[in-house]
Amino acid sequence: MSSEVAPQNSSLPQPGPRRLPSAGPINPTAGASCRLRPVPYRAVSITGGLWQARQQVNREVAIPRGRDHLERAGNLPNLRIAAGIAVGETRGPVFMDSDLYKWLEAAAWEYGRDPSDDLLLTQREVTALIAAAQQPDGYLNSVIQGRRAGERYRDLPWSHELYCAGHLIQAAVARARCTGERALLEVGMRFADHLFETFGPDRRHDVDGHPVVEMALVELFRETGQRRYLELAKYFVDARGHGLMQGYGHEPTYFSDRVPVRAQRSVEGHAVRALYLAAGATDVAMELGDEDLLDALTSQFADMVATKAYLTGGLGSRWDLEAFGDPYELPSDRAYAETCAAIAGVQWAWRMLLATADPSYADFVERTLFNGFLAGISIGGSEYFYVNPLQVRPGAHADHDRSAAHGRRGWFECACCPPNVMRTLASLGSYLATTDDSGLQLHLYSPSSITATVGGAECRVSVETDYPWDGGIRVHVEQTPPAEWTLSLRVPVWAEDATLTVNGTEHSATAGEYADVRRAWASGDVVELALPMPVRWTAADERIDAARGCVAVERGPLVYAVEQVDQAEGVVIDEILVDLKQPAQAELRPDLLGGVVSVRLRGLAVEPTRSRWPYRRAHATALSSSEDMSSEDREIIAVPYFAWANRGVGPMRVWLPRL
């Protein structure tokens, strides 16, 4: 696929009858214990606004360039070597295959969203290569095959062999759902069958150092109906947490192997590992109706959100071991908040939402998508953040290729994040709506068209909105069965004083709940949800030391950042105390950063003491640190956090010291 070829509708002969993709990334079985069910993948179409623009850039820039990077970095060449159709040295880290699989999954979802010959051909080509590299018994890993003479599972805590298998299976399921082509699914099933024969309580009792295969196996079960995949996923969830991974250079904590999943009441260790495991365990709990496991996951999620989440939804506060920190250890400057962790957090939260119908999970999905996730890709779609700090200091020095002080980068030596962003953006529509027996629930707001089955018959609604810039949301009922059903609209937890009208008549709407309207709908009915979006000043829990004495700016679902580049001459963002008594004003700026609402604040410019030693006598009476300073009232401009570092990288703050 070349970036010069414009997307177009597919005219290639299809291998089977053309059909709409039945399911998105998560498709619980009919027997699963879940309160909500996703709508079919192609039943949701994002038709405008911020997310459509991002999906378009993902299709036109990110995915084509991704393939180029995968060629240059060695991911595709590695597979060619493994397939015996090229010779050379296998390159890159042990998880190289997974980057390609995530990219392939992105291509599949993108094809499912809007088919094109290019997208189909590239999937077929890469699938053929993968199939050729697979070994006769189903095993496949180009790095192990190319570099370790095929010696398998020698170093499972680090080798990522099952991790790669998991991403292969996820791509295979996506390909099957979006194209109807089963070639990759067969590769994935052969690998999964090999895993089933290799691992288990009576076989090799072991797990991969990096979870993801759990989610993948459950989805493969959902797609194929083969229960052994679910059993294997359950085995991997249960086997973990018993210290299998001792003596591998890190504590078992790092590998989520210190405490069994169903005994764990918090999140710890490597953030992405812990989150993928939790998401997979939630799938297992849903499919098995395992309430004990779901209870543990509910506690874990609650503890994470209460003590270990950034305001942006970012997760994982330590560079060291890419780990969750201790409770309330949430530094802004050294936040790791890996883009993949944001994605994993969304995957877990979405599954918890399906399982419980608790709107707080949807709040978290929204918060993360608009902030901690979306900051991970540049507006132009060609560059990525691996690490997403909430502060960059003046004089920051980038000493690592992942450091945000470099600005976003086209690719990374460890390139997990870019293709993870691609598959998430491509499949984003699947997070907008669900159904249950009573009706249709809308969780995320975007201009969109949604078809769903309610009470056995089809309904169609369209959503009109300028969200997230404006809180007005109009839902048009375009097609409906005659029987009553409930339309539920999520009222975000921040949306105080929300109002809801149905054809002009007021209904109740409470922040943090779903506003349910049950009636016999008629085509042409209009539901209007108005979510007031004043600028909000947000303070942190007293125990979050990193944000003490500070406020953040939020508006609607967006967290704001103050970048040095927006400020008038003489305004140094680290030398400002924000004045909360002066009004903060939102302003639509179509010219700025692809069109955003910026916020104007007021604050005092304070001149810090320039001293040889940065510690001084504290005064008993002074509550503000501005005591000794000359000060001047200044305007400060804030922009959405997701849009920062799109004009070069410089000093930035989310948490602003206050008067």
Q: Which positions are annotated as active-site residues? A: 322, 416
Pairing of strands 433-436, 439-442: antiparallel
Q: Restricting to residues 6-35, which ones interact with its own copies according to CB under 8 A? A: none
Least distance from its own copies to the Cβ atom of residue 309, Å: 8
Number of chain positions touching its own copies (CB under 8 A):
79
Q: How far is the C-alpha of 12 from the C-alpha of 8, rounded, in Å? A: 11
Q: Which helix (H) or strand (E) element contains residue 299?
A: helix 291-307
Residue 56 contacts its own copies per CB under 8 A: no
**Contact pick of 449, 538, 564, 631 for its own copies (by CB under 8 A):** 538
Per-residue string for binding with its own copies, 592-611, x by CB under 8 A?
--------------x-xx-x
Residue 544 identity (one-letter amino acid): I
Q: Which helix (H) or strand (E) element contains residue 559?
A: strand 558-563
Among candidates 633, 647, 632, which has minimal Cα distance to 598?
647
**Contact pick of 151, 541, 632, 635 for its own copies (by CB under 8 A):** 541
**Contact pick of 113, 334, 490, 602 for its own copies (by CB under 8 A):** 334
Least distance from its own copies to the Cβ atom of residue 373, Å: 18
Interacting span for its own copies (CB under 8 A) from 89-97, 118-126, 160-168, 533-541: 533-541
CB 195 within 8 A of CB 187: no
Q: How far is the C-alpha of 392 from the C-alpha of 411, rounded, in Å? A: 21
Helix (H, G, I), strand (E, B) or coil at 639: strand
Least distance from its own copies to the Cβ atom of residue 494, Å: 9
Residue 513 contacts its own copies per CB under 8 A: no
**Closest CB to its own copies among 508 and 609?**
609
Distances (CA, A) of 284 to 213, 414, 427, 571: 12, 29, 22, 53
Q: Restricting to residues 227-286, which ones interact with its own copies according to CB under 8 A? A: 250-251, 253-254, 268-269
Contacts by 622-625, CB closer than 8 A, 24 or more apart: 624/577, 624/659, 625/549, 625/577, 625/657
Among candidates 348, 424, 340, which has minimal Cα distance to 105?
424
**Closest CB to its own copies among 51 and 655?**
655
**Contact pick of 543, 587, 588, 632 for its own copies (by CB under 8 A):** 543
Q: How far is the C-alpha of 575 from the C-alpha of 657, rounded, in Å? A: 9
**Contact pick of 624, 631, 647, 650 for its own copies (by CB under 8 A):** 624
**Closest CB to its own copies among 461 and 531?**
531
**Contact pick of 292, 397, 590, 591 for its own copies (by CB under 8 A):** 397
Count Cβ atoms within 10 A of the Cβ of residue 554 and give its class: 0-12 exposed, 13-18 middle, 19 or more buried. buried
Q: How far is the C-alpha of 185 from the C-alpha of 298, rounded, in Å? A: 32
**Contact pick of 323, 337, 599, 638 for its own copies (by CB under 8 A):** 323
Q: Restricting to residues 349-378, which ones interact with its own copies according to CB under 8 A? A: 360
CB 341 within 8 A of CB 364: no
Query: Which pair of tokens denotes residue 496?
Result: 């105080």
Residue 548 identity (one-letter amino acid): R
Interacting span for its own copies (CB under 8 A) from 58-66, 284-292, 451-459, 613-621: 613-621
Q: Restricting to residues 625-654, which ones interact with its own copies according to CB under 8 A? A: 625
CB 300 within 8 A of CB 265: yes
Interacting span for its own copies (CB under 8 A) from 188-196, 210-218, 304-312, 519-527: 304-312
Which residue, chain included where needed, has tokens 């401009």? 637
Residue 302 contacts its own copies per CB under 8 A: yes
Residue 546 contacts its own copies per CB under 8 A: yes
Q: Restricting to residues 83-122, which ones interact with its own copies according to CB under 8 A? A: none
Residue 540 contacts its own copies per CB under 8 A: yes
**Contact pick of 79, 96, 192, 311 for its own copies (by CB under 8 A):** 311
126 C-beta neighbours (distance < 10 Å), count: 23
Interacting span for its own copies (CB under 8 A) from 198-206, 374-382, 547-555, 587-595: 547-555
289-291-297 Cα angle (round to 5): 115
**Closest CB to its own copies among 154 and 400?**
400
Residue 542 contacts its own copies per CB under 8 A: yes
Residue 332 contacts its own copies per CB under 8 A: yes
